[in-house]
């Protein structure tokens, strides 16, 4: 990419998209194209076609997606598969039609099988069944990956996919109805700390609720002055990567790594594709229980963590093998403790 290249960041208001814009600006790229949902509905075929024909972006970061935690994925299954397929199909197809030089599609670690061997290598894709709770979302992301691969193979497009581990950051979703585990725990433990300090006014300001409505909210999400309730047993392990690290990895891949052509495997003699999708992870994981305790320490809440084993755990472990990307020259730089501390500072400033 040149500093004046026309770069379209789809999903620029989301956690990763906003971080990609931030990193591109820091790196001196001055022609970054963004569109809000009101300005461009990426699920609208005709609108996307018109956008690509008129704007003619040269590079595309496809970070737009409908995302959510385990509860949202399980409850809104139709929405997750339909909306994500629509967005991907339109952007990837019209990127091809308009001659985009390079496209980077952002997937998810949930594309890999439920009981996958750890750490998860790229070649484990489609080797076993998916985790049921987020299967529609995972299938949509697999379709996006395969669409990029197929357009690259058939038409010679330089379309790649990256598969991030669990992400968190300043621009995260803290809505307890739809958020992922880390921002949800951070907000719940923060509210519990305020309650333990008798600061109900700040709790009301944070939630926008009072009286019986506030009490119902706190009860629903297991938040009290003494404890915080967490879904599942606390034993599943997760890997977490700060969104700024993810964004830096995406820009690095866009600038330095291309879709690799077919090569012949020396053992099987079969033709294989390299660099069709690349894992992006932190390199180590932590149990949900340990995560909760770390957030407790950072927030300063001395109450109890209560685990609701009637709720699903999801996949037991999802540690990504990022050795391919590490060998290609990129590694993360933000520790989990430093990252959570930064996010908590940002959250308090915004609350």
Q: What is the pLDDT of residue 131?
A: 86
SS3 349: helix
Distance in angstroms (rounded) separating the CA atoms of residues 70 and 74: 6
- Model confidence at 351, pLDDT cuts 50, 70, 90, reads confident
Residue 252 falls in the annotated catalytic set: no
Q: For the segment 132-159, what is each residue's pLDDT rounded down to a tens digit?
A: 888 999 999 999 999 999 999 899 999 9
pLDDT for residue 124 is more than 80: yes
In this prediction the pTM is 0.89
Query: Could you report how far apart the first and last alpha carbons of the chain are, in Å?
Result: 38
Q: For the segment 294-333, what is each residue's pLDDT rounded down to a tens digit?
A: 999 999 999 999 999 988 777 788 899 999 999 999 999 9
Distance in angstroms (rounded) separating the CA atoms of residues 87 and 44: 8
Q: Report the greatest alpha carbon distance in the chain.
A: 69
Residues 6+ apart with CB under 8 A from 297: none
Q: What is the pLDDT of residue 116?
A: 87
Q: Of 137, 168, 344, 347, which residue is the catalytic one?
A: 137
Q: Where are the alpha helices (DSSP H) in 65-155?
A: 70-75, 77-97, 135-155
Q: What is the pLDDT of residue 269?
A: 65
Q: For the segment 184-224, what is each residue's pLDDT rounded down to a tens digit?
A: 999 999 999 999 999 999 999 999 999 999 999 999 999 99
Distance in angstroms (rounded) separating the CA atoms of residues 157 and 151: 6
Q: For the chain, give the mean pLDDT.
A: 92
Residues 6+ apart with CB under 8 A from 88: 62, 105, 140, 143, 144, 147
- Model confidence at 264, pLDDT cuts 50, 70, 90, reads low
Cβ atoms < 10 Å from Cβ of 91: 26
SS3 39: coil
């Amino acid at each position: 990419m040149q500093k004046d290249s026309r770069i379209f960041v789809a999903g620029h208001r989301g956690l990763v998209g906003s971080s990609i814009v931030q990193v591109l600006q820091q790196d001196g790229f001055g022609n970054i194209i963004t569109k809000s949902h009101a300005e461009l509905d990426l699920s609208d075929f005709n609108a996307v076609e018109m956008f690509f024909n008129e704007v003619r972006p040269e590079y595309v970061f496809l970070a737009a997606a409908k995302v959510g935690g385990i509860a949202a994925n399980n409850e809104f299954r139709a929405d997750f598969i339909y909306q994500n397929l629509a967005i991907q199909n339109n952007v990837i197809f019209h990127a091809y039609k308009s001659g985009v030089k390079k496209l980077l599609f952002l997937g998810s670690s949930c594309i890999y099988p439920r009981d996958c061997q750890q750490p998860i290598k790229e070649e484990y894709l489609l080797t076993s069944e998916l985790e049921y709770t987020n299967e529609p979302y995972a299938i949509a992301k697999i379709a996006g990956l395969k669409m990029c691969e197929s357009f690259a193979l058939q038409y010679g497009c330089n379309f790649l996919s990256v598969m991030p581990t669990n992400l968190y950051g300043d621009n995260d979703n803290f809505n307890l109805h739809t958020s992922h585990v880390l921002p949800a725990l951070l907000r719940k433990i923060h509210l519990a700390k305020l309650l333990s300090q008798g600061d109900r006014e700040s709790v009301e300001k944070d939630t926008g609720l009072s009286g019986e409505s506030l009490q119902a909210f706190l009860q629903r999400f297991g938040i009290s002055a003494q404890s915080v309730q967490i879904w599942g047993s606390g034993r599943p392990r997760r890997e977490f990567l700060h969104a700024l690290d993810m964004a830096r990895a995406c820009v690095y891949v866009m600038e330095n790594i291309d879709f690799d052509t077919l090569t012949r495997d020396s053992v099987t003699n079969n033709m294989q594709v390299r660099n069709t999708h690349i894992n992006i992870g932190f390199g180590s994981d932590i149990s949900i229980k340990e995560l909760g305790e770390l957030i407790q320490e950072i927030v300063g809440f001395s109450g109890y963590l209560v685990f609701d084993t009637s709720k699903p755990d999801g996949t037991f472990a999802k540690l990504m093998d990022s050795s391919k990307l590490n060998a290609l020259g990129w590694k993360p730089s933000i520790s989990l403790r430093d990252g959570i501390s930064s996010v908590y500072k940002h959250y308090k400033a915004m609350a």
